[in-house]
Amino acid sequence: MKRKAALFMALAVTASLFTGCGGNAKGTQQAASDSSEKTTSSSGVTASSTEGSGSGEAPYVCKIVCVGDASSEACQEVAEKASEITMEKFNTKIDLVRLGYGSFVNEVNLMLSSGEKLDLIPSFGISAMTAANTGQILELTDLIKEYGQGIDEVVTDSEWACVTFGDGIYAVPNNKEKAQGFGVVMRKDMLDAVDYDLDTIKTEADLEPLFEKIKEAYPDTYPIVSDNGQMGYHMIERDDIGGDYGVIMHSTETDKTEVVNYFATEEYKDMAQRHYEWAQKGLIMPDATNNTQNAYDLIAAGKGFAYYTNTKPGIEAEWGRKVGKEMQVLELVSPFRTTSGVANQWFIAHQSEQPDKAMQVLNEIYTNPELSDLLINGIEGEHYVKDAAKGILTYPDGVDASNTTYSSVAWVWPNELISTPWETDGAAIWSDTDAFNKSAKESIALGFAWDNSNVLNEVTACNNVKAKYENALNCGTLDPEVTIPKMLSELKDAGVEEVIAEKQKQVDAWMQTK
């Protein structure tokens, strides 16, 4: 892993890499306590526990920073309830902070680089591989063996392989949908009003006539919007084989593992040209790159009709809760599995003062439905009401997605599959999710874990180039005929070919082990 070199390089990594300057992962990891004993959590799977609050030791405070809208008062209330569980089992209190989608990466970066108190964080906008190589997060291998047995019963060997860099595990994959499909999500009331036949839409290009009808019927509505200036979902099957640069195109339909520069493909050029033309026609919101509102709010306010989305069971209901309107999803790319399908993960920050306690808490969240429901959904009676007979949640009277003080974002938490589903999702959502995972096609490179430690200089330089152009091209702001050649030239100068060659070498070596 070339840890020393990677740590030195962390000082040079820019904010666009979503990194900070952490310490040596193995050096800061504390040894597991020999006094632990096994117990059984309320989920029925094995968990690990030290002595409870009666040990006489001062309680440890485990700080969890997660993404999603919530008031500080609600976070405090949830943390106090959660602490009742963790104090009894581990003599540990919970400190919970939730950050907005647009600010999460920057604020977490500051915490990681400053050494501020921090224990558990999700991977939202943060690459596990990069964070491991730059020492921002701790190696978890021994901690999982000692304190994460419940997690280990759920996570498969192939999923652990996706978060193993060198000889160590650095992240805990979320238990959720593990495949990815892509499509477009639309306000159903507007769609019904124009009476459009969705069966005619098979590709992204086929959306144009629908967007034109929406623009004609709703002149003050943008047919498609950006999300905080981002339009990151691409309606094509590709495996990014661990991130950074170099992808395998159409990875479920080939027996070849050629790694190519996605930005140099005809598929990327076609997408960028289409978005540029749509922007010229007013089908994409103007100045989409500089938009500071999320897509949920824009669509809820009637300023937007559609946005791109991943597809999975319950995705329409998830969007509906956020927007407060009935939504319809049209799938354009069938579900497929890649290593990035387990990209939603949880880390222990390098500055955690007691990583053993952090792992105990993470294991408990993963295996205890009561704790999982608390952190995902908030306080019963205040943020939701539970119909025990039907096994579902609804909002209390007077509360909905627009005014709740604790938004439910199940997918970002460690194990949504043990939480209580919402009425809009249906009681069968988690069994449907399991079927979704099993039905998805598999990439030829599923399980490959990319290690960029040999090319960190080049990755950093390429990220600086990408930050100048990619999002503006995705949003249709820049002319691709002019911009893509310029971007490709600058990427070449920055060392993208060296990065792709290194990834190809690793993929080839990995294929020999299959």
Q: Which residues, at least 6 apart from 90, have a Cβ–Cβ distance to it below 8 Å?
A: 49, 50, 52, 60, 357, 360, 361, 364
Instruction: Assign 3-class secondary structure to 355-411.
Output: HHHHHHHHHHHHHCHHHHHHHHHCCECCCEEEECCCCEEECCCCCCCCCCCECCCHH
| 116, two tokens | 């501020």
88's enclosing H/E stretch is helix 72-90
56: left (phi over 0), alpha (psi -120 to 50) or beta: left
What pLDDT is stored for residue 55 in this prediction? 57
Contact 339, 446 (CB under 8 A): yes
C-alpha angle 413-350-165 in degrees, rounded to nearest 5: 80
Query: For residues 141 and 241, what is the distance between their CA atoms, to the nearest angstrom?
Result: 22
Matching fold, domains 3-27+35-177+342-377 and 180-336: yes
Q: Which architecture does CATH list for 3-27+35-177+342-377? A: 3-Layer(aba) Sandwich (3.40)
Instruction: Assign 3-class secondary structure to 122-140.
Output: ECCCCCHHHHHHCCCECCC
Query: For residues 157 and 195, what is the distance between their CA atoms, to the nearest angstrom?
Result: 48
Query: For residues 381 and 389, what is the distance between their CA atoms, to the nearest angstrom?
Result: 16
Contact 350, 112 (CB under 8 A): yes
Domain 180-336 = CATH 3.40.190.10 = yes
Candidates 248, 241, 141, 257; CA nearest to 450 is: 241
What pLDDT is stored for residue 52 in this prediction? 53
Q: Which residues, at least 6 apart from 414, have a Cβ–Cβ distance to it below 8 Å?
A: 151, 172, 174, 175, 346, 362, 365, 366, 372
To the nearest 10°, report the CA torsion of 428, 429, 434, 437.
140
User: Within a 13 Å sphere around the CA of 390, how many CA atoms are in the beta-carbon half?
Assistant: 14
Phi, psi values for residue 415, rounded to 5°: -145, 85
65's enclosing H/E stretch is strand 60-67
Phi, psi values for residue 360, rounded to 5°: -60, -45
Beta bridge partners of 182: 310, 333
Candidates 197, 190, 198, 182; CA nearest to 222 is: 190
How do beta strands 37-40 and 46-49 pair? antiparallel
Contact 471, 289 (CB under 8 A): yes
Amino acid (one-letter) located at 337: R
Query: For residues 93 and 87, what is the distance between their CA atoms, to the nearest angstrom?
Result: 6
Q: Which residues, at least 6 apart from 392, have a Cβ–Cβ distance to it below 8 Å?
A: 386, 420, 421, 422, 423, 425, 426, 427
What are the Cα distances from residue 280, in Å, to 284, 287, 478? 8, 11, 10
Query: For residues 311 and 314, what is the distance between their CA atoms, to the nearest angstrom?
Result: 9
pLDDT tens digits for range 290-321 = 999 999 999 999 999 999 999 999 899 889 98
Neighbours of 1 (CB within 10 A): 18
267's enclosing H/E stretch is helix 266-281
Query: For residues 384 and 404, what is the distance between their CA atoms, to the nearest angstrom?
Result: 9
Query: For residues 228 and 364, what is the distance between their CA atoms, to the nearest angstrom?
Result: 33
DSSP 447: T
Q: Give residue limits of the domains in the chain.
A: 3-27+35-177+342-377, 180-336
508: left (phi over 0), alpha (psi -120 to 50) or beta: alpha
| 132, two tokens | 């491991």
Q: Which residues of the chain have pLDDT under 70?
A: 1-55
Cα 311 to chain centroid, rounded: 14
